[in-house]
A and B are shown apart, each in its own frame.
Chain A
Amino acid sequence: MEVARPQQPILRQGYLPYDIVLNILARLPVKSVIRFRYISKSYNSSITTPNFISTHLKNIKDSHDNDNDNGFVIHMPSVTDNIGFQRPVCTVALDRTFDRISELGTPFDFHYIYTQIVGSCNGLLCFANSANVVYLWNPSIRMFKKLPGTCLGQLKHVTLGFAYHPENNDYKVVRISCLSLSTHEIEVYTLSSDSWRSVGRTTGLTATNVMFYDKNNPLPIPLVNGALHWVSNVVEGEENRRSRMIMAFDVNSERFRELALPDGSVDENTFQTFLALFKGKLALIAWEPSEQPGTQYSIWVMKEYGVIESWNKLFVVPFERVAHCIAFTEYGSLLVCYINDQVEAQGFKFVLVDTETLHEKKDPDIQHYSSVATFMESLVLFDGANVVSY
């Protein structure tokens, strides 16, 4: 996009060339950049280009790398107990402690009861409700976009994943619709085309029949090494042998590949499994019985992506009571909730456990069964089409 550059003398005392001023702007926090729109028309044009947005994002990530302590999460109640309540309030918190930083009202209406954060990439969040309405939202620039309706006929038993596509500097939403056991349809939405496109169902696979894709609720489907990962039940061979497997959807090629679960990680006694990210690597969280009274979570991490032998059980977190997994943060904190049935009258009780130290934080600042995702500031969506500002 051609931008008119004002002519500025380069060597005059106190004058910085246009490109250098842009270099400086790209290091500012989001709110300050937004103010710059109003400085002059040419700067307004320049800061809404994909190039500027990418540079700005890179600067934010570089400063995060140097500042390990300040990661954030955003969480939203998944279930509203108030039927008239249509706009959930999201909370931004520190990822290590869940200490509340701020609250954000969702700027769009969700008309049904169950809502979730599908995923979070580079500051852009993807939200969906049980009526299959999907939104992309960047709270730091106060812009959101409602996605068009599905291009598939019918949607049943849906699971969604949200990904950044670096090859095209684009964002994708992947939707798998399970019409019946072993019949699935898959469609992909790309932000650049602002449309859904069907990608069939057996793309990339040969003999495997996928029975279902685990929704991973309430954890978002993890994006690792450019692929979205679902635990699935597959049926193989003439004997129709069933086994659990990870189906990885490569965001660039839009093809699935299979990954084995770690040996001995899952058996008929396992209550539930979840996939998550741990320090950039794929993690399997298995909720299972333990030898002591109560249950435990075993956390396996795939140290070298794609290498099955590199699965390593890194942590085991025991609980005396039934503890439901709500979230697993990127640095390894497990957030669980106990449903109070005997001790207190009602409601949820939460505990945040550091899986490395097993240090527990009782009563972190969260009250509802929630969807949790990472949060960061960025300008992503600033240059988007059909975007609503509020």
Chain B
Amino acid sequence: MASSSTSVVVSNKEKENKNTKKVTLKSSDGESFEVDESVAMESQTIKHIIEDGHYSSLALSLSVKTTMASSSTSVVVSNKEKENKNTKKVTLKSSDGESFEVDESVAMESQTIKHIIEDGCANNEIPLPNVTSGILSRVIEYCKKHKEAAGESEPSVTSYTSNSTTNPLTEWDTEFVKVDQNTLFDLILAANYLDIKGLLDLTCKTVADMMKGKTPQEIRETFHIKNDYTPEEEAEVRKENQWAFE
């Protein structure tokens, strides 16, 4: 209860003050650390001191040695940074003009989008002229699901695996790719363009599994491959590897 009320106080304070209020913490061996008041208030002790008004306008003396103070300060600061980062959103715009607002961390499952954001080129919207809205919504669904499962603030690096004990999303992934061939191919193209390794592995493996029993002619039709062998050449190659066709 105490910590949640702390954060409520902190966020209210942030909204009130445009210039964040600072306090200075002074350790027992004389070193001073200036931090945002909201950050300092992660410490209940300091919070009470501030609320009770029992401090000078500049400094609080703490009976904590320098190293301890700086380490706890930096921990507090980075927690706050993580909190703020999580809520950042980015807008993706499909080729047919539809906009999708997603958490930045989810969007960064795509290496392509990650680079655009890191290069500072993402103003308001990131246009994706190669991806339709239907496909983009599915891709976002995949990224959200996998990001949740990874549960970290860094983009998940799990690639598609077929063993359900190492990948808890195996069942979900299997359902996800139960789509018609055109959609599957479009997902491959999108995963390739957006550079999402897990999705590319999953969709390519699905198509590979579909290919296993097919005849060469069926394979040519699926991938629109032109047969450039003459009949004699074709017979020659087939003879060399006759066993593979049995």
* Residue A24 interfacial (CB < 8 Å): yes
**Interface digits, A168-187 against B, CB 8 Å rule (1 contact, 0 not)?**
00000000000000000000
Minimum CB distance partner of B191 in chain A: A20
**In the bound complex, do residue B229 and residue A24 qualify as a contact, i.e. CB atoms below 8 Å apart?**
no
**In the bound complex, do residue B211 and residue A63 qualify as a contact, i.e. CB atoms below 8 Å apart?**
no
**Interface digits, B7-47 against A, CB 8 Å rule (1 contact, 0 not)?**
00000000000000000000000000000000000000000
**In the bound complex, do residue A34 and residue B208 qualify as a contact, i.e. CB atoms below 8 Å apart?**
no
**In the bound complex, do residue B207 and residue A24 qualify as a contact, i.e. CB atoms below 8 Å apart?**
yes
Q: How far is the CA of A39 from the CA of B208 in the complex (A)?
A: 15
**In the bound complex, do residue A28 and residue B212 qualify as a contact, i.e. CB atoms below 8 Å apart?**
yes
**In the bound complex, do residue B228 and residue A36 qualify as a contact, i.e. CB atoms below 8 Å apart?**
no
* Residue A357 interfacial (CB < 8 Å): no
Residues of A with C-beta under 8 A to B223: 16, 21
Q: How far is the CA of A20 from the CA of B241 in the complex (A)?
A: 25
Binds B, one of A5-13, A78-86, A215-223: A5-13
Q: Contact residue range for chain B?
A: 35 or more
**In the bound complex, do residue A37 and residue B237 qualify as a contact, i.e. CB atoms below 8 Å apart?**
yes
Least CB distance, A57 to chain B, in whole angstroms:
15
* A347-390 interface (Cβ within 8 A of B): 389
Residues of A with C-beta under 8 A to B142: none
Count of A interface residues, CB-CB < 8 Å: 36
**In the bound complex, do residue B166 and residue A66 qualify as a contact, i.e. CB atoms below 8 Å apart?**
yes
**In the bound complex, do residue B216 and residue A16 qualify as a contact, i.e. CB atoms below 8 Å apart?**
no
**In the bound complex, do residue A66 and residue B188 qualify as a contact, i.e. CB atoms below 8 Å apart?**
no
**In the bound complex, do residue A38 and residue B238 qualify as a contact, i.e. CB atoms below 8 Å apart?**
yes
Residues of A with C-beta under 8 A to B225: 6, 21, 39-40, 43
With A21-B223, A24-B211, A28-B208 as known contacts, state yes or no: A389 contacts B240, CB within 8 Å.
Answer: yes
Minimum CB distance partner of B166 in chain A: A66
* Residue B126 interfacial (CB < 8 Å): no
Contact of A14 among B181, B226, B238, B243 (CB under 8 A): B181
Minimum CB distance partner of B210 in chain A: A24
**In the bound complex, do residue B224 and residue A15 qualify as a contact, i.e. CB atoms below 8 Å apart?**
yes
* A6-61 interface (Cβ within 8 A of B): 6, 8, 10-11, 13-17, 20-21, 23-25, 27-29, 31-32, 34-44
Least CB distance, A70 to chain B, in whole angstroms:
11
Residue pairs across A and B with Cβ atoms less than 8 A apart, 27 shown, are A6-B225, A6-B226, A11-B130, A13-B182, A14-B185, A16-B223, A24-B204, A25-B208, A32-B211, A32-B212, A34-B244, A35-B219, A35-B244, A35-B245, A36-B216, A38-B216, A38-B229, A40-B227, A40-B228, A40-B229, A41-B229, A62-B161, A63-B162, A66-B162, A66-B166, A67-B163, A389-B240
